[in-house]
Amino acid sequence: MDINDDRKEIIHTLNNLIETSKDGEAGFKVCAEDVKRPDLKQLFMERSRQCGTAAVELQRVVVEMGGKPEDSTSVSGDLHRRWVDLKSLVTGKDEVAILNEAERGEDVAKKHFAEALHKQLPTDVRAIVQRQYEGVLRNHDQIKALRNVERARS
């Protein structure tokens, strides 16, 4: 592989993470709109903002590498349909169901970030992806814990 092929592969990997982050931004926003509890609404809005910030950071890296950054949610079937369907899944649902959907979304993000970290990335890019991955793990664990608390209540 030459340097251009390496760069293209890195940009492709980062664009996949941008889509994942944009999907999270959209998905958490849907959860925030449909959840009743103010603390969960605030949590989901904060997660949505964090995903948006992560996407912007990755877009900046892609531009610095000379690539064209992704600027929308994924159009690949699974994720796109998942977020489109999320609206109907969570509307009128209880907190446990909404937290389940949020956790499922974070499972997808965990998978994508873990896959990216198994690729050859420049040190500075790897540091950004690793930091964002750690944030995804924290989000996942917090949402899972909240879901378990809600499940115990019901």
Does the pLDDT of residue 147 top 60, yes or no? Answer: yes
* pLDDT given at position 3: 58
* 59-90 pLDDT tens trace: 999 999 999 998 765 555 355 445 546 665 65
**Residue-wise pLDDT tens digits, 43-60:** 999 999 999 999 999 999
pLDDT of residue 34: 82
Q: What is the largest CA-CA distance in the chain?
A: 57
Q: Write the DSSP symbol of residue 119.
A: S
Q: Which of 129, 125, 78, 145 is nearest to 105 (CA)?
A: 78
Per DSSP, the residues of 75-113 read -SHHHHHHHHHHHHHHTT--HHHHHHHHHHHHHHHHHHH
Express each pLDDT in 2-40 by its tens digit.
Answer: 558 899 999 999 999 999 998 899 889 888 888 889 999
So what's the pLDDT on residue 77? 39
Domains and CATH numbers, the chain: 3-153 (1.20.1260.10)
> In the structure encoding, which two tokens stand for residue 46, read together?
């904060």
CB atoms under 10 Å from CB of 38, counted, come to: 8
Side-chain-side CA neighbours of residue 120 (13 Å): 7
pLDDT band (50, 70, 90) for residue 91: low
Q: Residue for token digits 């910030």? A: 53
